[in-house]
Each structure stands twice: as structure tokens, then as C-alpha cells.
Amino acid sequence: MHLFRYFFVRLLWKTIDLFCYALVSRTGLVHGVTMHSDLPYRKEANPKQCLDVYYPEDVSAFLPILVYIHGGGAVGGDKLHYRHYCMQWAREGYVVFNVNYSLAPQPSEVTQLNDILAALDWISNNHHRYHGDGEKIVLAGDSAGAYLAALAANVCTNPQHARRLGVKPTLPAHKLKGVMLLCGLYDLESAAACKFPGVRSLIELVLGVNDLRSYDDFANLSVTRNLSASYPPTFISSGEVDWFYEESITFIKALSQRQVPVTSLLFPRNERKAFHGFPFLPHLPTAKLCRRKAGEFLREVCK
């Protein structure tokens, strides 16, 4: 990647990170929720290979598990930015694992996916310590985190895709009850053509190439192109003013073609408050509706 573009991408996401930290600093912890922070899910883990766990203080039974994967363009973001959002789900009766992962640049295209799979393996072996029901797990994420959540769900339910990527599924398919995807992208090649500022340079950084035209493995990294009928029930939300809106539309069509149960909350272009990242601004009517619909979905798949 050209140094100028690399600098621009890093500067853009560093600015976004600082903005998110400022927002987090104004929100406290959620009352009635127990928190365990910075638990390493890999041996000799780096600071990004850790997760937080949240669950209700008054828990008296094993609860469904929500595994949340943060956004940030694969080069930025942090679980801290989503702490309040995830703790709210914990207050509603879930054990929430809020996962960090290695950020780009990285050794290979599947480094981040392998981090998520390692986190799922750790969760599978440790959920009982935090009152989690290991038979009821939902993967969730936004933006780049939605891509990783969707990709991890696919390799755990589609062994052929896992083999093509050279990764090992770490969560039995029958334990994965659903996927919750917000403002996501699901095919890096088509996402590179959208109008998101610097997205092409961003994907070049993630893939470790100087020019996407020289990259020939987009098909294997696509969730949309590798779906099987075994994919879990899915909730998707996006707005037409989001740069990645068409990614959701295409993914919904692919799910429907394979008869995968899909619940969608899509906002038309005249809804200006359904921009990229809207679910995390809780004062917005669109965010409130999204949370209500997502909650209905979670209760249905985890019952």
C-alpha cells in the first residue's frame, strides 16, 4: 500500500477512535451488571486478544450467550467503545462476551478470523464460569465486526468453506442459534466499490496488498458467495443512507435463496438517521427501533 494512503486510513480511524473514547467517557457502567475485563482468550495473548464478560448481578440460572465483535474498519475500534451497549444486553438477560481482536496490518487475511475462532473456543470452554448457556450462542457485530461475525458463523456451519480458508471451526453448529448483524459488509470485493471514504485503501491494508486488482482470493473471503443452507437464523439492519447498504441487500437475498430464516430492519433513504453506526446512538428513534427488533429476534432464537 502507498504510504500516503496508509497514513490517511490510520489517521481517519484514529480520529474515529478518539471520538468514540470521548463518547464512552461520558457514559458510566450499567447498574445491575457484573463485569469481568480483559480476559485473554489466547495463550501469550497480545492486548487485543482479550475479551470482557457482562452478566446480570442477580443471575440465578444459565443465560443465553451473545458474542459481540466490534467494528472499526479492521484497523481501529475497541471493545471499550461498545461496553455500554453490550452491558445493556446483559441487563436484559444475556451473558455478553465483548471481544477484541488483532487489528490490521496483520500476518494474513485470516488472522482476525482466527482470533474470533480462538475467542469462541475459549468461550466454549469457560462460559459456565460466567453463567452462560453454552447451547444457546448468538454471534453479533457491526461494520467490519459484522463481517467477522458473519464469516465466523459461516465457517462454523459450512465445513467446506472452513477448509478453503484453512481455518478450524471452534463452535459446533448446533450451538450457534443466530447471528445479529448491524451496518455490515459481507463481500470485500463489492464493498471496495462503495463510497465509504478510503474503503479501497482500507481493504488493501487488511489484505496486505498494494492494489486490489492484483488480489485473486476475494471469492473465498466472501460470506455472501459461500453461504450454505445450514447458516443460522439472521437479523440484519441497515439504512439506505449507509455506504454499505447494498451489502445488506445482497446478503439478505443470498440468505433467502438458501431458505435461511432472516429478519431484516431496513430504513429507506428518507430516513436520514439510519446512517452507518446508528444503532449505537441510543437517543435516535432508529436505534431504539433497532434494539427492540433485535431483542425480539434474540428472544425468539434463544427460547
pLDDT tens figures, 36-80: 999 999 998 888 999 999 999 999 999 999 999 999 989 889 999
The burial class, CB within 10 Å (0-12 / 13-18 / 19+), for 108 is: exposed
pLDDT tens figures, 168-214: 999 999 999 999 999 999 999 999 998 877 788 889 888 988 889 88
Q: What pLDDT is recorded for position 2? A: 55
The phi-psi region of residue 248 (left if phi > 0; otherwise alpha if psi is between -120 and 50; otherwise beta) is alpha
- CATH code of domain 3-301: 3.40.50.1820
- Which of 143, 7, 141 lies closest to 152 in space, CA to CA? 141
Q: How would DSSP label each residue in 245-275?
A: HHHHHHHHHHHHHTT--EEEEEE-TT-TT--
Q: What pLDDT is recorded for position 205? A: 85
Q: 17-50 in b/e burial notation, b at 16+ Cβ within 10 A?
A: beebeeeeeeeeebeebbbeeebebeeebeeebb
Q: Is the pLDDT of residue 1 over 60?
A: no
162-166 long-range contacts (CB < 8 A, ≥24 apart) are 164/220, 164/226, 165/110, 165/113, 165/220, 165/221, 166/110
pLDDT tens figures, 216-264: 999 999 999 999 999 999 999 999 999 999 999 999 999 999 999 999 9
Mean pLDDT of 257-274: 98
Q: Which residues neighbour 107 within 8 Å (Cβ) at sequence distance 6 or greater?
A: none
Question: What is the distance between the alpha carbons of residues 167 and 26, in angstroms, rounded to a whole number?
Answer: 40
Q: Across all residues in the chain, what is the average pLDDT?
A: 93
Q: What pLDDT is recorded for position 124? A: 98
Q: With DSSP H G I counted as helix, E B as strand and the rest as coil, what are the percentages for the chain, rounded to 5?
A: 45, 20, 35
Please give the DSSP secondary-structure letter assigned to residue 95: E
Q: Which residues neighbour 267 within 8 Å (Cβ) at sequence distance 6 or greater?
A: 238, 239, 240, 241, 274, 286
Q: And the C-alpha cell for 31?
A: 447498574
Where is 67: in which H helix or E strand? strand 63-69
Query: What are the φ and ψ backbone dihedral angles of 136, each rounded to 5 degrees?
Result: -135, 90
Please confirm whether the linkage preceding 47 is cis (ω < 30° from 0).
no
**What SS3 class is residue 146?**
helix
Q: Which residues neighbour 245 within 8 Å (Cβ) at sequence distance 6 or greater?
A: 238, 239, 266
